[in-house]
Amino acid sequence: MAVAGTAGFIRGIDPGRPGVPDFGRRIYHIKATGQDRTIRDASKAFPLRRKFATLGLSSGTPETLRGLSAAVNRQISGLTSQNFKALVLDYDGTVCTAEQRFHGPNEKISEQLSRLLSSNVALGIATGRGDSVRKDLRRVLVEKYWRRLWIGYHNGGEIGRLDDDKVPPSQFELSDELKPIRTQLENDEFIRSIIDLRFSQSQITLRPRQAISVHATLELALSNIKSAGAVGVRVVSSTHSVDIIAPRISKMSLLEYLVDSHVVSSLDEILCIGDRGRFPGNDYELLSHTFALRNLRKIT
């Protein structure tokens, strides 16, 4: 600080109050982008900027801006006026962070789940995982609430209440549509050396080891599906794995199950929350529901 002060004194300037050229002042006082000036409610600016980025647009035309702004208004109006009786949540990234997935929900989240259940709100968990989710939730929720919580295991392939030990089943036969893919994957020595394979009745899970990313795993999954000649299967990804899913399997099956079981009267009484809504994220179908919210913040 003394050296800078001395150098400034020699040159006849004050380093603490430097001169700023006109162009610098103009940059400093520049107004927000046109889209933000157009949107009077600042709370709507962020979701619109996010949509522009998704569409690959640096800024929106007036027509695009008006269309997206109207869509935001409709969604907010619908959410605030609807009476919900059930809440369906994604698990990894929503109920717990990727780092917490080996330990389950933390105390704050567990308290909120218990509060909702005690208020007679039906809860659903739509997850790509298997019975590890059941074990985690039983550990943090008292037993009297277990019958009010439904789990859609393996992306909706098996559905059961938290108090049901038979779902997902311990014995199963892999779906016929997935059998050629299983053979293709298991015969590939490279894949077996870098990826852990797990199987359920309607899903093949590829969990990469540290040497390979989820994105690279997704590319390998798509390549092997094509090589196996499989038809009708889908691929989705989470923060830590890639799931190959049999036809007709979807997280939306849990919502339909709640309606068919008369837990709620219609799909409109269910609010969904997830974090990976952009395809091939494993919540893209769940978040296409009329009443859905995307979780964007890190869970604490």
Task: Say if residues 192 and 186 touch (Cβ distance below 8 Å).
Answer: yes
- The CA distance from 44 to 1, in Å, is 44
Q: Which CATH number fits domain 176-245: 1.10.10, 3.90.1070, 1.10.3470, 3.30.950?
A: 3.90.1070
**CA separation for the pair 162, 244 (Å, rounded):** 25
Domain boundaries, the chain: 18-80, 86-170+261-294, 176-245
**For 289, how many CA atoms within 13 A lie in the half-sphere containing its CB?**
27
Q: Can you give the pLDDT at residue 138?
A: 96
Going by C-alpha positions, the residue among 235, 250, 241 that lies closest to residue 181 is 235
Token pair, residue 262, equals 């008369």
Work out the number of other CB atoms within 10 angstroms of the CB of residue 144.
10
pLDDT at 41: 57
* Sign of the C-alpha dihedral computed for residues 274, 275, 279 and 282 taken in this order: negative
Q: Render 142-163 in DSSP notation, one character per residue.
A: -GGGGGGEEEEEGGGTEEEETT
Residues of the chain with pLDDT under 70: 9, 12, 17-20, 22, 25-26, 28-45, 54-55, 57-60, 296-300
CATH 3.40.50.1000 fits 86-170+261-294, yes or no: yes
Q: What is the predicted pLDDT for the residue at 3?
A: 86
Q: pLDDT for 19-47, tens place per residue? A: 667 677 667 666 554 444 444 555 566 77
pLDDT score of 284: 94
What is the pTM assigned to this prediction? 0.80
Report the candidate in 96, 92, 89 with the shortest Cα–Cα distance to residue 116: 89
